[in-house]
């Protein structure tokens, strides 16, 4: 039995009370909760506009579609990410091109992005930068490359709510990008069960994704094409394709409650990371993730260590099973997308950084309910497994 999974949500009595309150009011969708949630996210992340939707995947798809991604305009992103980052582009019938990453952090860099752009046979419209595990890419350098090649930047910030760039600029404020997308999945910093959002400072993009979120329906009579029905109270129009990507009032109430604890919980995650570093420092065959508080403040969604499996004489599955025998869960983030049958590429040798990162990475338990004694126990078991 796994006592310490690699991640789990924190649900408080106040969370439950706020969700129950919505259910008791009886207005379950398209009400005040989503409007208030969007306003609070914009205030927290310093964005002009926010659109809450029912998943991080929906958020990416809405942005890609609104920005014109398609058969002649492709996406460049990292293969070290969840499927949704690339899949949402395929939902727009766009080509997906991968770039290499830094072998230590697993992050895209300006250099790896420019190399991919130079060699791509696909015309790239959007570069989606993934802030892996809450660790931030160097957006200033990447923005310079994107401008040089006339590309738009979208930030997949699903792992990084509450993270700060230098001078305290929050991720989601879109200082370097046209939009940021977030996931509020059950094990993310803000847990809605399923949910997500888009932040942007671009009014045109906001209006587009706002409409597409609800089947493409327009209710503002000033934009009707059929002017004969301009003053009909029941009338609405659909002028382009949209989807049902709405989030309901209960999950938005949960998200609002969780958002209020974001700063506090991120500080807690930082404390847990510091404890891991204290207990696992200088452990042979294990490298700890870098802490880089000088350039930015991380959000620490994942605690991904590097283990030299070859040197300890055990493969990753064996290590994961031995940890599980001690009640310690673990996970891998992520299987490179080019290894998936759908995206399968033959020439994977060009991704030297990705291959190096993937072969040794393992995510260990990280969530706010963990105590100091838990981190000590987990660290001791890791030592037992690696020193056998």
Residue 103: Cβ within 10 Å count: 17
Q: How many CA atoms lie within 13 A of 109 on its CB side?
A: 12
Question: Token pair of 69, please?
Answer: 């991604």
Closest CA relative to residue 179, chosen from 144, 221, 127: 127
Is the pTM for the entire model greater than 0.95? yes
Report how far residue 219's alpha carbon sits from residue 206's, in angstroms, rounded to the nearest whole number: 16
Closest CA to 198 of 158, 153, 231, 150: 158
Strands 124-130 and 74-77: parallel
pLDDT of residue 150: 98
Domain 262-387 listed as CATH 3.90.1150.10: yes
Q: Which residue has the tokens 């993937």?
A: 358
Q: What is the pLDDT of residue 166?
A: 82
So what's the pLDDT on residue 339? Answer: 97
13-259: CATH topology is 3.40.640
Torsion of CA 301, 161, 184, 211, to 10 degrees: -150
Instruction: Give the alpha-carbon dihedral of 32, 38, 39, 40, to 10 degrees.
Output: 100
Q: What is the pLDDT of residue 359?
A: 97
Q: What is the pLDDT of residue 168?
A: 85
Assess contact for 15 and 191: CB atoms under 8 A: no
Query: Which residues, in sequence order, are bridge partners of residue 307?
Result: 286
Q: What is the pLDDT of residue 290?
A: 82
| 108 vs 277: CA distance, rounded Å | 24
- C-alpha to C-alpha distance for 303 and 284, rounded to whole angstroms: 18
Q: Where are the domains of the chain?
A: 13-259, 262-387
Instruction: Report the SS3 class of residue 82.
Output: coil
* 19/13 Cα distance (integer angstroms): 10
Low-confidence stretches of the chain (pLDDT beneath 50): 293-294
Structure confidence at residue 295 (pLDDT): 62
């Amino acid at each position: 039995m796994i006592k310490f999974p690699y991640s789990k949500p924190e649900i408080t009595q106040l969370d439950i009370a706020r969700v129950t309150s919505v259910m008791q009011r009886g207005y379950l969708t398209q009400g005040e909760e989503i409007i208030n949630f969007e306003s609070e996210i914009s205030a927290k992340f310093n964005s002009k506009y926010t659109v809450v939707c029912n998943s991080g995947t929906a958020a990416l798809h809405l942005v890609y579609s609104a920005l014109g991604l398609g058969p002649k305009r492709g996406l460049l992103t990292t293969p070290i990410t969840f499927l949704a980052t690339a899949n949402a582009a395929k939902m727009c019938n766009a080509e997906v091109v991968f770039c290499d990453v830094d072998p230590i952090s697993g992050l895209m860099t300006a250099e790896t992005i420019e190399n991919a752009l130079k060699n791509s046979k696909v015309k790239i419209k959007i570069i989606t930068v993934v802030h892996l595990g809450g660790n931030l890419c160097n957006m200033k350098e990447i923005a310079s490359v994107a401008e040089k090649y006339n590309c738009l930047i979208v930030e997949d910030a699903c792992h990084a709510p509450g993270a700060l760039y230098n001078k305290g600029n929050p991720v989601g404020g879109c200082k370097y990008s046209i939009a940021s997308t977030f996931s509020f999945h059950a094990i993310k910093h803000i847990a809605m069960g399923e949910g997500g959002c888009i932040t942007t400072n671009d009014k045109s993009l906001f209006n587009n994704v706002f409409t597409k979120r609800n089947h493409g329906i327009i209710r503002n009579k000033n934009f009707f094409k059929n002017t004969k029905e301009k003053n009909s109270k029941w009338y609405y129009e659909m002028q382009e394709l949209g989807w049902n990507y709405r989030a309901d009032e209960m999950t938005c109430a949960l998200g609002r409650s969780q958002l209020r604890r974001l700063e506090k919980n991120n500080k807690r995650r930082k404390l847990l990371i510091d404890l891991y570093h204290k207990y696992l420092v200088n452990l042979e065959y294990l490298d700890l993730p870098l802490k880089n508080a000088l350039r930015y403040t991380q959000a620490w969604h994942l605690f991904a260590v590097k283990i030299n499996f070859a040197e300890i004489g055990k493969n990753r599955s064996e290590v994961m099973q031995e940890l599980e025998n001690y009640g310690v869960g673990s996970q891998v983030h992520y299987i490179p997308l080019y290894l998936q049958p759908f995206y399968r590429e033959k020439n994977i040798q060009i991704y030297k950084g990705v291959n190096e990162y993937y072969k040794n990475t393992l995510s260990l338990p990280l969530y706010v309910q963990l105590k100091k004694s838990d981190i000590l126990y987990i660290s001791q078991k890791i030592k037992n497994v690696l020193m056998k």
